[in-house]
C-alpha cells in the first residue's frame, strides 16, 4: 500500500512540474529572422529569435495562450495554442513584409502619423527597394519610382535634376530629415553623395506643398530621412564596381557616447576615372568624377525622452567631362573643351524639442555651398548660403489636431554672372497653421494656410485643403487642393544658361510663379484567402500655373529667353501603382503614369520640352529559398518627349523615341550578415545616339571657331557647317552610358 501511495505521489509531482515548452522558428520567405520578438500574450514572458531564427519558451504552465511574433518592417503574426499536459509545442512563424501601408510618415503634415490616416497621400520607399538596382547616389536611385524621373541636363558634365509628374527639377523640393537644405545650387550639384548606408526611408509627396514648405515645393517634395542612431546597425558596408571602372563605397557605423548620446557616421566615396567614348564624338560618354561625402548624426538622451538631434555633412566633388584629350592644364582655356566643376559644401541640421509640457519643436539648418566651375572658357564661380529656422507647436484639442508654425529663411547668393551685379541677400519670414478636423469616424478634413514675406516680391499667401474618407481599413479616398508659389533664380537652376553657345536673354523682372492644384487619390488593399496581397493606388491631378517661367529655346536658336508667360501652363495626368506579394516568393511593384504638360500663349498651345507623355516602372523580385538566391528585374519605360533643336535644318529628331532602361541583379545571402550581388545594367544597351546622326551639336568645333554668322547673329550654312549649327550639348534626355556589369557586397553587423 505504501508503494502505491509513493508511486501515485511521484506521478502527481511529475505532472505538476512537467517541462512544458513552446519552440519553433521565425522566418520570412524561408530566410531566418534574427532578433524577432516573440511574446506570450497577457503574460510577462517574451524572448527573441536566434541567428537561425529559432526560439524557445520553457516551463510554460498549463493553459490557453496566444503567441505573437513581430519584426520591424514585417506584419505581426499570432497563433492560439492550448497546453493541457506535459508536451513540446512546435510553433513556426513565416512573417510577411509589411504591405499594409500603415508606416508612420511625417512629410505630408509635418507631424508623425500613420500613412493610412494621413489626409495627404505620401509614398514611402525603404532601402530594400533601392537595393534592387544598386546606384551610387540618391539621384540615380529614384529612376524606378513611378512619376519621378532623374533628368540629365548636359551631355558633357552630366548634371541633372529630378522631375515629378513632368515638372522641371526646380519645382521639386528635396529635404533631408525635413530640412530644406537641398536648394538652389545643390538642386543641380548636391544630389550626389548622400550616403545610402544612412537611409532610413524616402517619403515622396506629389503635388504642391507650399503651404507647409514654402517656395520650391510646387511640383512636389522628396524627404530623405536618415536612420536614428539608436536603431542603426553597429556597422554596415556596401561596395560595388562596374566594368566601366566605376567604384562606389558606402560605410556606416554607430557608437554610444556613455549614456548621454549615440552617434551615427556615414561615409560615401565614388570614383570614375576611365574616359569612354562609345558614340565616337570625341567627348566623354560619362563624366569623370571623384567624390567624397561624410555624414554624422548625434541623438542625445534626455531624461524627458524629448528629441534632441544634430547632424552634419561635408561634400566634395571634382567632376569633368569634355573632349577626350582634356587635361587640368586646359581648364578655362579655349584649346581643348572641357567642363570642370569643383564643389565644396557643408551642411548642419538639428532638432530640439523644448523642455516643457507642450509639444514644441525647434528645427534648424545651415548650408554653405562653394562652386568653382568652368564650361569651356566660361567661368561660373558661385557661393550660396542658406540658413533656416522653424518652430512648430503640435496641439490637440477636442476634435482638432492643430499645428502652428513660424519659420525664418536667410538666403545669400553671389556669382560672377550678370544676374548678380551685387550680392543677393534675402530674408523670408513665414507663418503657417494647420488644423486636422475629425468630422466623423471615417471622415477627416485638413485646412492649412501659409504667409510668406519676401523682401524682393512682397507678401505671398498659400492656402490648402485636404479631405480623407476612410471607407474601411482596405479602402481610402483622398482629395487635396491648394496653391503654390516659386521664386526663380535662373543661374542656379538653369544649367543650359551656362553651357553651349546660347545667349541668355531676360526680357523683364521675373515675378513669382503661382500654381493652383487639385488631386484625387484612391488606395485599395486586397488580401486573398491564401495569403497573397495586392495594393492598388491611383492618383489623378491637375495643376494650373500663372506667371510661369519656361525657358524659350524655340524663338531663336542662339538664345534662351526668360520671361513670365503671357498665358498659362498646365500639367495634368493620372498614375497608378500596383504592389503584388505572392506566397510563392514572387513580388512585383508596377507603376504607370500618363501626363499632359503644356503651355498656352497667344491662344497657341504647345507641349513643353523634355516632358514625356507616359512612363512605366517595374521591380519584379523572386526568391529561390533552397539556393539562398534573390533575383531582381527592374526597369523603366519612357514615352516620346519634345527635344531642344537648334533650327529647322537640325537633323536630330524633334521627339525622342519610346525608350527603356532595364536591369537584372542576383543576390546570394546564405552567409551570415553578408550579401553578395552581381548583375547587368541597361540590358538593352540603349543610348540616346541611336537613330541620330549625332547628340552634341558641332562636337568637332566646341568653341565655334569655324562658325560663320549673318548680320542677325544666326549661324550660316557652310561646307564645314551644312546644318548651320553652333556647339550645343543640351540635346539630352537620357544617359549615354550603355550596357555594363556590376559586382558588389553588403555586410551588416547588428
524 - beta bridge partners? Answer: 475, 536
Instruction: Report yes or no on 152 lying in a domain.
Output: no
Question: What strand order describes the sheet that includes 63-70?
Answer: 46-48, 37-40, 63-70, 77-83
- Alpha helix ranges (H) inside 391-528: 490-493
**The cell 569655324 sits on which residue?**
706
- Tell me the percentage of the chain whose pLDDT exceeds 70: 90
DSSP line for 90-114:
E--EE-EE--S---EE-TTTTS-EE
Residue 8 has pLDDT above 50, yes or no: no
d(CA 176, CA 202): 9
Name residues whose C-beta falls within 8 Å of residue 329's C-beta, 6 or more positions apart in sequence: none
Q: Among 64, 97, 130, give the residue marking a domain's end.
A: 97
Instruction: Report yes or no on 272 lying in a domain.
Output: yes
Residue 497 has pLDDT above 60, yes or no: no
Instruction: Report yes or no on 355 lying in a domain.
Output: yes
Instruction: Report yes or no on 166 lying in a domain.
Output: no
Q: What is the mean pLDDT of residues 675-701?
A: 94
pLDDT, one tens digit per residue, over 305-342 is 899 999 999 999 999 999 999 999 999 999 999 999 99
pLDDT in the model for residue 29: 64
Q: How far apart are the first and last CA of the chain?
A: 62
Q: What is the CA 201 to chain-centroid distance, rounded?
A: 9
Between 726 and 548, name the one with better pLDDT.
726
- Tell me the percentage of the chain whose pLDDT exceeds 90: 47
pLDDT in the model for residue 12: 46
Strand 93-94 to 21-28 pairing: parallel
Instruction: Report yes or no on 129 lying in a domain.
Output: no
- Domain CATH number, residue 82: 2.60.40.10
pLDDT, one tens digit per residue, over 270-286 is 999 999 999 999 999 99
pLDDT, one tens digit per residue, over 194-242 is 667 778 889 998 877 766 777 667 778 888 888 888 778 899 999 999 9
Instruction: Report yes or no on 17 lying in a domain.
Output: yes
* 644-665 residues labelled b (16+ CB within 10 A) or e (exposed): bbbbeebebeeebeebebbbbb
Most confidently modeled of 430-434, 502-506, 561-565? 430-434
d(CA 281, CA 264): 45
Q: Yes or no: say if 665 and 132 are a contact pair by the CB < 8 Å rule.
A: yes
The lowest-confidence range among 10-14, 91-95, 188-192, 664-668 is 10-14
Q: Among 54, 73, 97, give the residue marking a domain's end.
A: 97
pLDDT in the model for residue 502: 59
Whether residue 459 is found in the same domain as residue 312: yes
- Among candidates 530, 513, 401, which has minimal Cα distance to 466? 401
Return phi, psi of residue 747, to 5°: -125, 130
pLDDT, one tens digit per residue, over 581-632 is 887 889 999 999 999 999 898 888 988 888 999 999 999 999 998 899 999 9
d(CA 401, CA 439): 12
Instruction: Report yes or no on 191 lying in a domain.
Output: no
The chain-wide mean pLDDT, for the chain, equals 86
Instruction: Report yes or no on 368 lying in a domain.
Output: yes
Distances (CA, A) of 399 to 359, 435, 439, 480, 652: 18, 10, 8, 20, 61
Domain boundaries, position 666: 225-749
pLDDT grade for 10, boundaries at 50, 70 and 90: very low
- Domain CATH number, residue 320: 2.40.170.20
Question: What strand order describes the sheet that includes 220-226?
Answer: 123-125, 199-206, 220-226, 172-176, 179-182
Domain count, the chain: 2
d(CA 639, CA 576): 16
Between the CA atoms of 699, 702, 705 and 707, what dihedral angle is there, to the nearest 10 degrees?
50
Residue 498 has pLDDT above 90, yes or no: no
Q: Among 43, 77, 97, give the residue marking a domain's end.
A: 97
pLDDT in the model for residue 72: 61
pLDDT, one tens digit per residue, over 139-181 is 888 889 999 988 888 889 888 788 888 887 777 888 888 887 7
Amino acid at each position: 500500500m505504501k508503494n502505491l501511495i509513493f508511486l501515485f505521489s511521484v506521478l502527481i509531482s511529475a505532472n505538476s512540474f512537467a517541462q512544458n515548452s513552446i519552440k519553433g522558428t521565425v522566418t520570412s520567405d524561408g530566410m531566418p529572422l534574427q532578433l524577432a520578438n516573440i511574446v506570450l500574450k497577457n503574460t510577462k514572458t517574451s524572448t527573441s529569435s536566434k541567428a537561425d531564427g529559432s526560439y524557445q519558451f520553457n516551463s510554460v504552465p498549463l493553459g490557453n495562450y496566444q503567441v505573437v511574433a513581430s519584426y520591424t518592417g514585417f506584419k505581426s503574426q499570432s497563433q492560439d495554442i492550448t497546453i493541457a499536459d506535459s508536451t513540446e509545442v512546435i510553433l513556426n512563424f513565416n512573417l510577411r513584409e509589411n504591405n499594409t501601408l500603415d508606416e508612420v510618415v511625417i512629410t505630408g503634415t509635418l507631424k508623425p502619423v500613420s500613412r493610412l490616416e494621413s489626409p495627404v497621400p505620401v509614398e514611402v520607399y525603404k532601402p530594400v527597394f533601392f537595393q534592387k538596382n544598386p546606384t551610387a547616389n540618391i539621384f540615380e536611385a529614384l529612376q524606378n519610382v513611378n512619376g519621378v524621373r532623374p533628368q540629365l541636363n548636359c551631355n558633357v558634365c552630366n548634371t541633372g535634376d529630378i522631375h515629378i509628374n513632368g515638372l522641371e527639377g526646380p519645382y521639386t523640393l528635396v529635404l533631408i530629415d525635413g530640412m530644406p537644405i537641398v536648394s538652389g545650387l545643390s538642386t543641380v550639384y548636391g544630389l550626389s553623395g548622400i550616403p545610402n548606408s544612412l537611409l532610413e526611408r524616402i517619403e515622396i509627396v506629389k503635388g504642391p506643398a507650399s503651404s507647409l514648405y514654402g517656395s520650391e515645393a510646387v511640383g512636389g517634395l522628396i524627404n530623405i530621412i536618415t536612420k536614428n542612431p539608436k536603431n542603426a546597425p553597429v556597422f554596415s558596408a556596401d561596395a560595388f564596381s562596374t566594368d566601366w571602372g566605376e567604384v562606389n563605397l558606402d560605410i556606416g557605423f554607430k557608437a554610444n557616447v556613455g549614456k548621454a548620446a549615440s552617434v551615427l557616421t556615414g561615409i560615401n566615396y565614388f570614383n570614375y576615372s576611365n574616359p569612354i567614348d562609345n558614340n565616337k564624338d570625341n567627348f566623354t560618354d560619362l563624366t569623370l568624377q571623384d567624390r567624397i561625402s561624410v555624414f554624422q548624426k548625434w541623438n542625445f538622451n534626455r531624461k524627458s525622452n524629448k528629441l534632441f538631434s544634430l547632424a552634419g555633412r561635408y561634400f566634395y566633388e571634382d567632376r569633368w567631362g569634355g573632349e577626350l584629350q582634356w587635361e587640368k592644364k586646359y581648364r578655362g582655356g579655349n584649346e581643348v573643351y572641357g567642363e570642370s566643376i569643383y564643389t565644396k559644401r557643408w551642411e548642419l541640421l538639428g532638432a530640439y524639442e523644448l523642455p516643457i509640457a507642450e509639444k514644441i519643436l525647434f528645427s534648424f539648418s545651415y548650408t554653405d555651398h562653394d562652386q568653382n566651375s568652368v564650361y569651356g572658357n566660361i567661368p561660373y564661380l558661385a557661393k550660396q548660403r542658406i540658413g533656416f529656422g522653424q518652430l512648430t507647436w503640435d496641439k490637440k484639442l477636442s476634435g482638432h489636431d492643430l499645428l502652428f508654425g513660424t519659420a525664418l529663411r536667410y538666403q545669400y547668393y553671389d556669382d560672377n554672372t550678370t544676374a548678380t551685379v551685387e550680392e543677393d541677400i534675402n530674408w523670408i519670414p513665414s507663418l503657417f497653421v494647420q488644423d486636422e478636423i475629425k468630422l466623423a469616424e471615417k471622415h477627416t478634413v485638413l485646412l492649412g494656410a501659409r504667409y510668406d514675406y519676401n523682401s524682393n516680391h512682397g507678401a505671398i499667401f498659400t492656402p490648402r485643403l485636404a479631405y480623407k474618407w476612410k471607407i474601411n481599413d482596405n479602402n481610402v479616398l483622398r482629395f487635396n487642393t491648394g496653391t503654390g508659389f516659386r521664386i526663380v533664380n535662373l543661374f542656379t537652376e538653369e544649367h543650359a544658361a551656362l553651357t553651349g553657345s546660347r545667349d541668355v536673354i531676360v526680357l523683364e523682372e521675373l515675378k513669382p510663379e503661382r500654381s493652383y492644384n487639385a488631386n484625387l487619390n484612391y488606395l485599395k488593399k486586397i488580401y486573398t484567402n491564401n495569403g497573397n496581397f495586392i495594393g492598388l493606388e491611383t492618383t489623378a491631378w491637375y495643376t494650373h500655373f500663372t506667371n510661369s517661367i519656361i525657358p524659350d529655346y524655340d524663338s531663336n536658336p542662339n538664345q534662351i529667353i526668360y520671361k513670365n508667360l503671357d498665358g498659362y501652363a498646365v500639367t495634368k495626368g493620372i498614375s497608378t501603382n500596383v504592389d503584388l506579394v505572392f506566397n510563392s516568393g514572387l513580388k512585383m511593384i508596377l507603376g504607370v503614369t500618363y501626363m499632359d504638360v503644356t503651355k498656352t500663349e497667344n491662344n497657341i498651345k504647345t507641349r513643353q520640352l523634355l516632358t514625356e507623355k507616359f512612363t512605366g516602372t517595374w521591380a519584379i523580385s523572386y526568391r529561390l529559398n533552397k539556393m539562398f538566391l534573390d533575383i531582381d528585374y527592374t526597369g523603366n519605360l519612357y514615352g516620346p518627349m519634345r527635344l531642344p533643336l537648334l533650327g529647322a535644318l537640325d537633323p536630330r529628331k524633334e521627339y525622342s523615341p519610346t525608350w527603356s532602361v532595364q536591369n537584372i541583379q542576383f543576390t546570394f545571402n546564405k552567409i551570415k550578415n553578408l550579401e553578395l550581388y552581381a548583375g547587368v545594367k541597361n540590358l538593352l544597351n540603349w543610348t540616346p545616339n541611336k537613330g541620330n546622326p549625332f547628340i552634341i551639336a558641332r562636337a568637332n568645333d566646341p568653341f565655334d571657331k569655324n562658325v560663320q554668322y549673318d548680320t542677325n547673329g544666326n549661324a550660316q550654312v557652310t561646307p564645314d557647317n551644312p546644318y548651320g549649327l553652333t556647339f550645343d550639348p543640351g540635346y539630352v534626355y537620357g544617359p549615354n552610358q550603355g550596357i555594363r556589369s556590376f559586382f558588389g557586397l553588403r555586410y551588416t553587423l547588428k
